Structure 1
Amino acid sequence: MDLRIYNIKLSINFIFIFIIVSAFVAGLYKEITAVLLALAVHEMAHIIVGRELGLDIEELELSPFGGRIKVAFDKAASEEEILTALAGPFANFVSVGLIAFLTKLSFVSSEFSKQLIHYQLMLGFFNIIPAYPLDGGRIFSLWLRRHISHNSSVRITAKTSKILAIFFLIIAVWGITIGKIFISLVFAGFFLFYQAIKIEKNVAFDFMKQLVMKKETVFKKKYISGDTIIVLEDTPVKDVLYLFSPQKYFIVVVMDKHMKIKKCITETEIFDKIIEKGLDLTIEDLI
C-alpha cells in the first residue's frame, strides 16, 4: 500500500499491515502501541535529521522489521547519509531515558514503561547490526565505500549480512536443543539472508542506474563533483567501471607504456560503449 505524507512516498508492506491488524484483533494493544511508538521515533528521527542535512528523502518503506528511507541520488553524500542512518537508533536510545524519566514522574505506568523501553532498545540495537537493509548495514557500506569501490562495498556488506543471518539461525537451532524457541531470531535470520541475496542480485543493475542518473544530475544542477582515474591501454573496461562511485563523475586518462597521455575518456563515453559492445573490452578498444 502506497501513501504520500509531507511529499514523502510511504510504502507499507502487506505483511506489516497483517501483523499489526492481527495483534489488535488478539488484544495486544499495549504491545503494538509500544512497537509503533518505537518505529515512529526511529523513522521520524531519520526524516528530521535527513532533511536538516539537506537530503531529499523520497520514500519511507515500512516492513515487519522496521523502515527504510530512500534518498534522492543528486542530494546524497556519504557523511550526511551516515548521520541520517545513525539518527534512528540514537533516537530510540534517547527515548529510553525519556520514558524512564516520565515513569519516575508517574506519567507512565511501570508495567507499560517496561514494554516501551523493551521495544525502543530492541529496535535500536537491531538496527545497528552491520547488515542490509538495516541502518548498521548502510553505515558499514558507506564506510567501506571510502576505501574501496561502490560495488565491492555492497558485496562485502551483503556477505556480512549472510554471515550474521546464519549466526542468528544457528542460535535459534541451538535454542531448540535446550528447549527454548527464539522465533524472532528465526525471522531475523531469514529476513537478513533474503535481503542480502536480493541486494547482491541487483547490485549491477543499481550501479548502472546510478551511472545513468549522474548524467541527469549534471544537466539538472549544471555541475557535479569529479575525479580522475589513470589507466593503461590494456586495462579491462570492467575493472575501471567498478572504480566509479555514485557521488562523483569520473574522467579516465589513458596512458601508453611510455606513460604519455593518449586520450581522456568520460565515464559517459565508457558507459555508451559498454551498452553497444558489452563488458568484454579493454580501454584500447574504446580509443
Structure 2
Amino acid sequence: MDASLQICKIKGIPIRLHFTMLIFIPVMFLFFMMNSPPIGFNNVDMTTKYLLSASATFLLFLSIVLHELSHSFFALKYGTKIHNITLFIFGGVAMMEDIPKEPRKEMQIALAGPAMSMLIGAFFLVIYVFLKHLGVFSPVRLLAASMSTLNFMLSFFNLIPAFPMDGGRLLRAAFACRMRFVDATKKAALVGKIIAVVMFVVGLMPDPAALMRGEPAPPMSPFLSLIAILIFIAATEEENATRIFSALEHVKVGDVMRRGDQAFVSADMTVEDVLEKMASERHTEYVVVNTYGEPVGSVFFRELKEIQEKREHKISDFIKPIEVVSSEDIALDALKHMLREHKDIFAVVDDEGKLVGAVTKKDLIASSELIAGKMK
C-alpha cells in the first residue's frame, strides 16, 4: 500500500504528501501558536494567532516544496529523471533516478535547495524590515519575521555535512574531486555518523539552565537525539546504496542471473511440489513457465506458505505478473527498476527473445557485495 498521496504536479514533477505529514501539519500549527516571536505568535489575540499559525504552516510547507523543486530543476538540467517530490514529517525528498557523479554537478544540485531557502528568507526579511521602517506592527510583519527566521534555519541546517542533508552531498562532492565516488561517499558517511553521535549525546545532556538554577535537569533536546538517529541511519544507507550501485554499473544482467532449474518452475506443478523445490534449492521466488517455456508469471514463498491447505492445487492458480529484461541490460538498471516498481524478480531473455534465466533483487545485491569485495 502506498504511504503517500499525490496532491499536484509542478513542471511535470509529482508532489506527494506522505502520511506522516498528517502529524507534521497540526504539530507545526501548535508550534506557531505556543512560541514567541520571531518564530511564533503567542503575543497576539486568539483570532490573529489562529490566522497567523495557519498561514505560517502553509508558507513553511510551500517553502519546503520550493527547496526541493530547486534541487529537482538543477537535476533535470543535467539529465536526471525526477520521479516525485515527497513531503515527510522531517521535510521533503526529491526522488531522483540517479545523482550525477561529477563533483561540480552534484555540488550545484546540492546547493540549489539551501540557496532557495536563503532567497525565501531574504524575501521575508525585506518585508519585515520595510514594515519595521514604516513603524507598522502588523500581523504581516510577525509572519514575515517567522518565515524569514525559519527559512534561514532550514538553509543552515541543510548545510550540516551529514547525509541526508545537502551538506553531506557537498562534502562528498568535495571528496570526489580527489578520489573515487564510492570512496568519497564512504568518507562523507563517516563524517555524518560522527556528527550524528555528537548530536545524540548533546541532545541527552542535562539542560544547563536547569542545572544553574539547582533544579532537576531534563535532557537538553530529545528531539535532537531523534534527528541524530535518523542521520546515522541515512548515512549508513547512503554508503550501502552507493557501494551496491557502483559495483553493478558495469555488470550485465546475464552475468548475475540464475539459469535452468534454479530459475524456473512449471505452471503445471502443484503448490506442494514448488514448496519442496524451494526448500531443496533454498530459493524463495521463481519465474513460472508454460509448456512452451515462455514466462507467464512469478511465484513467491511468502504467498505459498499462506495457502498450504491448497497444496494439491496447481501453481498457475497463484502466480503474480512478471516483467522481462534482457540479459544484455546493465544490472544496475535492473536493480533500480526493481526498487522503483517494488519488484523482486524479473524473467531474463536473450537477444532473440528466448527465456534464459531469472534475476532477483537478492541476486543483484549479493553479486554487488562480491564484486565490491574484489574491488577493495
Query: Would the TM-score normalized by the shorter structure come out above 0.5?
Result: yes
Partners in 2 of 1:201 and 1:195 — Cα distance?
Answer: 10
1:17 to 2:18 alignment: no
Match of 1:149 in 2: 180
Match of 2:84 in 1: 59
Alpha-carbon shift at residue 94 of structure 1 (Å): 1.8
> What amino acid maps onto 1:101 in structure 2?
V
Secondary structure of residue in 1 paired with 2:94: strand
1:194 to 2:208 alignment: no
> Could you list the runs of 5+ residues in structure 2 that have no partner in the other structure?
34-49, 132-137, 211-217, 254-327, 334-363
Tell me the alpha carbon deviations over residues 94-123 of structure 1, each in whole angstroms, 9 at most, x when there is no partner: 222211222344497222122101210111
1:46 to 2:85 alignment: no
TM-align CA RMSD:
3.7
Whether the 8 Å contact between 1:34 and 1:115 is mirrored in structure 2 is no
Secondary structure of residue in 1 paired with 2:85: strand
Secondary structure of residue in 1 paired with 2:87: strand
Structure number with the higher helix fraction is: 1
Match of 1:206 in 2: 245
Partners in 1 of 2:230 and 2:188 — Cα distance?
Answer: 15
Tell me the alpha carbon deviations over residues 175-201 of structure 1, each in whole angstroms, 9 at most, x when there is no partner: 535437334422321221121232334
Whether the 8 Å contact between 1:34 and 1:116 is mirrored in structure 2 is yes
Change (3 A) 1:55 1:204: closer
Match of 2:224 in 1: 185
> What amino acid maps onto 1:37 in structure 2?
L
Alignment of 1:216-227 (within 5 A): none
Partners in 1 of 2:102 and 2:252 — Cα distance?
Answer: 15
Alpha-carbon shift at residue 43 of structure 1 (Å): 1.6
Alpha-carbon shift at residue 48 of structure 1 (Å): 3.0
Moved more, 17-26 or 164-173: 17-26
Match of 1:125 in 2: 156
Equivalent of 1:92, from 89, 96, 117?
117
Equivalent of 1:168, from 199, 223, 242?
199
Change (3 A) 1:185 1:280: closer
Alpha-carbon shift at residue 56 of structure 1 (Å): 3.0
> Could you list the runs of 5+ residues in structure 1 that have no partner in the other structure?
221-271
Tell me the alpha carbon deviations over residues 213-270 of structure 1, each in whole angstroms, 9 at most, x when there is no partner: 99858xx9xxxxxxxxxxxxxxxxxxxxxxxxxxxxxxxxxxxxxxxxxxxxxxxxxx
Moved more, 33-42 or 189-198: 33-42
Partners in 2 of 1:184 and 1:281 — Cα distance?
Answer: 38
Moved more, 101-110 or 119-128: 101-110
Whether the 8 Å contact between 1:129 and 1:135 is mirrored in structure 2 is yes
Change (3 A) 1:38 1:207: same
Secondary structure of residue in 2 paired with 1:109: helix
Partners in 2 of 1:51 and 1:282 — Cα distance?
Answer: 34
Whether the 8 Å contact between 1:2 and 1:9 is mirrored in structure 2 is no
Tell me the alpha carbon deviations over residues 133-169 of structure 1, each in whole angstroms, 9 at most, x when there is no partner: 1111112112212211222212211111111111112
Structure with bigger RCO (C-alpha 8 Å, 6+ apart): 1
